Chains A and B, each alone.
Chain A
Amino acid sequence: RKEVEQDPGPFNVPEGATVAFNCTYSNSASQSFFWYRQDCRKEPKLLMSVYSSGNEDGRFTAQLNRASQYISLLIRDSKLSDSATYLCVVNTGTASKLTFGTGTRLQVTL
């Protein structure tokens, strides 16, 4: 089983839609959780940190379920500019080492 698993993409949604991405992690000792977005041929950029039961930032909501070892990202009112790959990232607590999921590609269309 992979350490961090994400929904396979791509997700193709119209502008204005709500879309949710899921991520599961295998190490129950994991302490910190993040969502990064990566545009084509660019570096990953931190979108949200998820430290407790979840948090919200504008149109983006991240949820954490420690019992099920599950993280989600909800994007409301999708914009064309949200088109990117979304990476689920987990810190297992091992000396600053982050483990990346394979990413989920989102394409928002007119």
Chain B
Amino acid sequence: DTEVTQTPKHLVMGMTNKKSLKCEQHMGHRAMYWYKQKAKKPPELMFVYSYEKLSINESVPSRFSPECPNSSLLNLHLHALQPEDSALYLCASSRSGNEQFFGPGTRLTVL
């Protein structure tokens, strides 16, 4: 199994909602990542988990809360988002911290 899966594919939420994005990989990778990508821009790193511990937080607002329940799963909890948070949210994983493999993303719209 060489893929990263993400659910849901699309999500529409209001500014007062709480929702979660999920990511899963079964490649035995020990590093997992969340990225945010706006249209016509490159992915921007949000968080890095290494061996299930948060190792990098790129000064992301607290309305985004990551969680790594185990080595295969990564969640991103969303609360009180703003319309400007609408974007494609990508999860990635890596064995060594070099080549990263991306999931298909969750396209988020905040109304």
Contacts and interface: CB of A to CB of B under 8 A. Distances in A.
Contact of B41 (A45, A46, A95, A102): A102
A34 B98 CA distance: 9
B41 A44 contact: no
A1 interface: no
Nearest to A33: B98
A97 B50 contact: no
B98 A91 contact: yes
B48 interface: yes
Interface residues of A, number: 19
Contacts, number: 49
A61 B99 CA distance: 18
Interface residues of B, number: 23
A87 interface: yes
Contacts of B101: 46
B109 interface: no
B45 A43 contact: no
Given A43-B105, A44-B43, A95 B97 contact: yes
A20 B94 CA distance: 28
